[in-house]
Every structure is written in structure tokens, then in C-alpha cells.
Amino acid sequence: MDQEERLTAVDNIVTQFNTYEDFLDSQITSVDLYYLEDEGLARQLVELGYRGTGEVVKREDFEARKAAIEIARLAERTQKKTLTSAGKDLQDNFLKALAVREEDNHNGKTVIFIRDKNSHGQEVSGYIDYAHRLKIEDFEVYFSGKRRLLPKPTDMSFYNWDSHIAVWNSTPNYQVIADNLQGLLFKYKRDRKILNVDPKVSPGDNSTRIPIQTDLYIQAVIFDHISRRKT
């Protein structure tokens, strides 16, 4: 049996049995149990290849293939996950910009700046880690127009212009650098590149700053970062 045929045989066994013990038990006959009088010993003999009615499969091979198949299954399920922006009739440029970036924002590539008034009529602004908010919130309400995306005190930065409350928070993707002569900076954790949000200077290496013309907010800007770090 060549390598490819053996892998196919192992895969068939792995998909047929939940555990390695289940596979060993399937190889034990009633005659084996009659003479050995010990199920554990019978399993050991099958594992060593001295007993059994079929292919000899080592425990490490079984568990490795089991893990690989499970990883592939989860990856396929994730890939098939429907985007929350899919099928929506998006009219505003801001929502269109978010929709274009939704599928590709698993590693924190996009930072969103929003300035507008909240439900209390207070002007607020802040920087949002798009990927992080996608993971902890259902964006269906935003893409459907039921609610507007606004910065929160739990975002990368939040400022209430009426109460003068200012908050900064690092996220799984970005480290906030607040006390800096250059102003507010964000360090992308994957490649350690700095994102400078000051509109008067360059946003930094591999980053772009895109002001969005929108009817939803007083001001909206999207920063895109492309990580060059190999994974």
C-alpha cells in the first residue's frame, strides 16, 4: 500500500470512529476476548499489530488525522459563514466601505474614526477597531440601518465633547499610545507598525487614510493597514 492509499485508509477509519479506543474495539473478536479474558490487553495487542481484522493504525496517526480533519471542517464552516452585509441594499458610502472590508477584517486591518452626536445630543468621537467590534457585536443592526455605529468608551479611543470624558483602550489588534508628542498613535500588534491618525501627517508604513463622504455622520474616516509580516 503506497502513502496516498494509506492516508485514505486512515482517513476512512478516523471518520468512522469517534475515538482510538472505539477503533481498537472494532478490531477485537469474541474469540480474542475468550482467550485473553482482558479487554485492555486485547486493545494493546491490536495497537501493536498482533491482533486485529484490518489496517494497523498507530494512536498518534489516528489522533493527528482526527485533529487535521476537525481543523479543516471548522475552517470550511467559517469560510461559508454568511457576511452580515450580504444582500443588503446599502445606499450610504460609509456602510458600503464597511461592507467591502467585512470579509477581510479578521486581523484588525481597519480602524474607523467617527464623529457625531449620540442619542443624548452630545457630540462624541472615537477610533474603532473594526475587526474587534465585528467579533463582539452583530453588525446586522448597522448594515440594516436599525442603528448607527458609534464609538463607545470600550473602543480604542472615545471622547465626549460635552462632558470632556476621554478614554483609551488597547484591543487584541492594536496597542494605544496616548502619551506621545506626536499625538494619539496606535501600534498594530502583528507587525508592530505605528498608525498615526493625525490628518496633517502620513498615517505610517503600509497604512492609508480615507475620508468618507457620508450622510450618517458629521465626520467619518477609515484607516486601512496591510501587514507585511509573514504568518
| pTM higher than the cut 0.85 | no
Q: Which residue has the higher pLDDT, 121 or 10?
A: 121
Side-chain half-sphere exposure of 103, counting CA atoms within 13 A: 10
228 confidence band (pLDDT: 50, 70, 90): low
Domain regions of the chain by residue span: 3-80, 93-226
Would you state the pLDDT for residue 48? 60
Please determine, for residue 231, whether its predicted confidence score (pLDDT) is greater than 50.
no
> Is the per-residue pLDDT at 2 higher than 60?
no
Set of cell numbers at residue 162: 460635552
Question: In the beta sheet, which residues pair with residue 208?
Answer: 224
Grade residue 163 by pLDDT with cuts at 50, 70 and 90: very high
How confident is the model over 192-217, as pLDDT tens digits? Answer: 999 999 999 999 999 999 999 999 99
Q: How far is CA 46 from CA 3, 10, 54, 56, 97, in A?
A: 21, 15, 10, 8, 59
